[in-house]
Structure formats: structure tokens, C-alpha cells
């Protein structure tokens, strides 16, 4: 018996959302059924629903920032019990056997992981994500949400949080390091909170000074309004690590100039256009230009535990199901403070 649930569905690329019933696979022995309470809106949802990254699978139910409680467990499930508070991010399954999975890097699964939506499960059927009242996932992809974090503020941690946590840890953000965060949106505001809690000195680079006050409240020490003439040049060779969260292609050479020699600029934003990079911009100061893709399940749990310990949740605006189309426009305009979260109890398939 498949599992029927109310969801927000885009029937075709860029179509407005409709509320209707969709079907998930029946609960397998290693699966858990989750009652979703909140789902964050990530800019990646917009890229995919609008096919800005290429052909996508429709109908689509986006949403990979999921927080809720376990409603049922398969017969062989050992990690979760009914009633547990759980989160789900960008993946719902992986082979579990390859070198990457064994290393807790399921995002790089050699056999191809299963994305939470706009993907296909190992049964060949399309996956549907978090803009819904329920979801079925492999038990390995449900992470424990500590009691200290409310479910609404936890939801965005499952993508925005882990995506910036991974490069901050990999490139050693901490006391004595100077970290720049480019773009103060969903990912950017989490990067500020996490880098500050890790002990780094944090500089926010935002297009105008409109978010300067917020940046300081989120934990930033410095603020650069990049739209002001000469703003980047004045700050050359000042940063050890830059996390670029911008969803459009920035002039990479200018941003590489902000790094000290041997510093690293990590792109987590995924614009649909290419970057233009001069060889000397990286060779000159022996700089690292890197990318980073979400994070594995053990790291996601580590990040959630760190957030609970430091009293960190996302800064959110909660909306109902009929406000999602309008919210997408506000995300694209960079107008959200700082993550929109859907109260999934408002989805009504009629």
C-alpha cells in the first residue's frame, strides 16, 4: 500500500504550486515515515523548479530542509522510534556499501545517492520532497534533531546549515582565522552564525549596507557593502577563507583578491552561468579555489549537535502553503530575513 499525503506540487517547470495528494512508496523494512512539521525554502528549490540547472522531473514536490517526527518505522528499523524528532536534508538513500558511503560521505556515493526530490529512488520511481505532510526515507537519512532546537528553526539546518558547516570545518574556521561570507541569505546567515560560534572573525560581504545591522546581530565582526566603488580593492589580502553563497556568478578574480596568500575561496552557490577566472588570480598567491557539496550524514548530526550546544537555529519567516509562490520572488530578490519555512500543516489537498 503506497502512502498518500498532501503536498505542494509544481506540475511543470516554473508552474505555480497546487495543493494535491501525492503517493510515496510503501514503508520498506528499513524505512521511516515522517510527519513533516516544517520545510525550508532553499534557493536550490527555485533553481530546480525553474529548470535553471537543466531538465528536471515533473510533477515536482521540492523541499530538502525537512523537520518533523517519526510516524511509523519499518520492521527492521533500529535507529529511530515513533515520536522521535528527525530531520531530512538533500538525500534520502544511498548504496551504503561504497568507499564514500562507508566514510560517511553519502553525498558522493559511487553508485549514485537518491536525492530527496527531483531524483529517482532505487525502485525507479521519482522522489517527492518536503513541501508535504509526510515523507518516506531510508532510516539512515533521518538525523536526530536535539531537543534544544525548535523544529521550525531546525529545518533550514538540514541544507543551509550543513552546506556551510562542511567547508568551515574542512578549511579550519576557528579562533585566529578570518572568514568572509559572501551573500547574506539562507546559507550566508547560517555561515555567519556557525563561523562566529566556531570562534572565527567574520566579515559579511553583501551587495548594499541594508543588512549591516542584521549581520552584526547574527555575529559578524565586519561588513563590506560590495556595491560601493572600490570596496573590494580596499580589503585585498585580508581573509583566510571565503564562503561564497551567491546564486549568481560573481567576478571571481576580484573576490580571490580578498584572500591572503594560500587562502581558500569555496563556492557553495551554484549559479547557472560559469565563472570567469584568470590563472594568475589563483597562482599568484598560491590560492585555493574550491567547491563544496552539502555534507554527509555523520557531519549533519555533528552540526545539529553543535547548534543545540550553542543555542543556534536558523532565523526564519514562517509562511503557509498559499504563500510559497510569492515567497519564491522574495528569495530571488534577496529580500528574506533569512530563511522562509513552510508550516506544512497548512497544505490542504482538499
Q: Contact residues for ligand NAP (CB under 6 A)?
A: 42-44, 47, 159-160, 163, 183-188, 206-207, 211, 245-248, 268-270, 292-294, 331, 334
Buried b / exposed e along 285-305 (16+ C-beta atoms within 10 A): bebebbebebbbbebbbbbbe
Residue 127: φ, ψ to 5°: -95, 150
Closer by beta carbon to ligand NAP, 48 or else 134: 48
CB 273 → ligand NAP: shortest distance, Å? Answer: 10
First to last CA, the chain: 21
Euclidean distance between CA atoms 134 and 161, whole angstroms: 22
Per CB under 5 A, the list member of 42, 91, 155, 307 interacting with Zn ion is 42
Interface characters, 101-140, with Zn ion (x: CB under 5 A): ----------------------------------------
Number of other residues whose CB lies within 10 A of the CB of residue 330: 16
Q: In this chain, which residue has its C-beta nearest to Zn ion?
A: 42
**Are the C-beta atoms of residues 50 and 11 closer than 8 Å to each other?**
no
3 state DSSP class of 11: coil
Euclidean distance between CA atoms 291 and 266, whole angstroms: 5
CB 57 → Zn ion: shortest distance, Å? Answer: 17
Nearest to 177 by CA among 188, 169, 185, 166: 169
Regarding 190 and contact with Zn ion (CB under 5 A), the answer is no
CB 192 → ligand NAP: shortest distance, Å? Answer: 11
Q: In this chain, which residue has its C-beta nearest to ligand NAP?
A: 185
Regarding 158 and contact with Zn ion (CB under 5 A), the answer is no
Closer by beta carbon to ligand NAP, 123 or else 273: 273
Contacted by 265, from ligand NAP, Zn ion, none: CB < 5 to 8 Å by type: none
Interactions with Zn ion, residue window 269-308 (CB under 5 A): none
- Listing DSSP states for 297-309 in one string gives HHHHHHHHHHHHH
Closer by beta carbon to ligand NAP, 73 or else 162: 162
CB 161 → ligand NAP: shortest distance, Å? Answer: 10
Q: What number of CA atoms fall less than 13 Å from residue 160's CA on the CB side?
A: 38
Per CB under 5 A, the list member of 33, 67, 159, 215 interacting with Zn ion is 159
Rounded CA Rg of the chain: 20
Contacted by 183, from Zn ion, ligand NAP, none: CB < 5 to 8 Å by type: ligand NAP
The two beta strands, 18-24 and 3-9, are antiparallel
Per CB under 5 A, the list member of 19, 44, 127, 206 interacting with Zn ion is 44
Q: Where along the sequence are the contacts to Zn ion (CB under 5 A)?
A: 42, 44, 159
Amino acid at each position: 500500500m503506497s502512502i498518500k499525503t498532501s503536498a505542494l506540487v509544481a506540475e511543470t517547470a516554473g508552474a505555480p504550486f497546487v495543493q494535491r495528494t501525492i503517493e510515496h512508496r510503501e514503508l520498506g523494512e528499513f524505512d521511516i515515515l515522517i510527519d513533516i512539521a516544517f520545510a525550508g525554502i532553499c534557493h536550490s528549490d527555485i533553481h530546480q523548479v525553474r529548470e535553471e540547472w537543466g531538465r528536471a522531473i515533473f510533477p515536482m514536490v521540492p523541499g530538502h530542509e525537512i523537520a518533523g517526527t517519526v510516524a511509523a518505522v519499518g520492521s527492521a528499523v533500529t535507529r529511530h522510534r515513533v515520536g522521535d524528532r528527525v530531520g531530512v536534508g538533500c538525500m534520502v538513500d544511498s548504496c551504503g556499501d561504497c568507499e564514500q558511503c562507508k566514510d560517511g560521505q553519502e553525498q558522493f556515493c559511487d553508485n549514485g545517492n537518491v536525492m530527496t526530490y527531483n531524483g529517482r529512488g532505487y525502485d525507479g520511481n521519482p522522489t517527492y520532497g518536503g513541501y508535504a505532510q509526510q515523507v518516506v526515507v531510508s532510516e539512515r537519512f533521518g538525523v536526530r534533531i536535539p531537543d534544544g532546537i525548535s523544529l521550525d528553526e531546525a529545518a533550514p539546518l538540514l541544507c543551509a546549515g550543513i552546506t556551510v558547516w562542511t567547508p568551515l570545518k574542512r578549511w579550519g574556521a576557528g579562533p585566529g582565522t578570518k572568514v568572509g561570507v559572501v551573500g547574506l541569505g539562507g546559507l550566508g546567515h547560517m555561515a555567519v552564525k556557525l563561523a562566529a560560534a566556531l570562534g572565527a572573525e567574520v566579515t559579511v560581504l553583501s551587495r548594499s549596507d541594508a543588512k549591516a545591522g542584521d549581520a552584526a546581530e547574527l555575529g559578524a565582526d565586519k561588513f563590506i557593502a560590495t556595491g560601493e566603488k572600490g570596496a573590494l580593492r580596499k580589503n585585498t589580502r585580508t581573509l583566510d577563507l571565503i564562503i561564497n553563497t551567491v546564486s549568481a556568478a560573481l567576478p571571481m578574480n576580484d573576490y580571490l583578491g580578498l584572500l591572503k596568500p594560500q587562502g581558500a575561496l569555496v563556492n557553495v552557490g551554484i549559479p547557472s552561468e560559469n565563472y570567469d577566472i584568470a590563472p594568475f588570480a589563483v597562482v599568484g598567491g598560491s590560492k585555493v579555489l574550491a567547491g563544496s557539496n552539502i555534507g554527509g550524514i555523520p557531519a549533519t548530526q555533528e552540526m545539529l549537535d553543535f547548534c543545540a550546544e550553542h543555542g543556534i537555529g536558523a532565523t526564519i519567516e514562517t509562511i503557509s502553503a498559499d504563500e510559497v509562490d510569492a515567497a519564491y520572488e522574495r528569495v530571488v530578490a534577496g529580500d528574506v530575513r533569512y530563511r522562509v519555512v513552510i508550516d506544512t500543516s497548512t497544505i490542504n489537498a482538499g
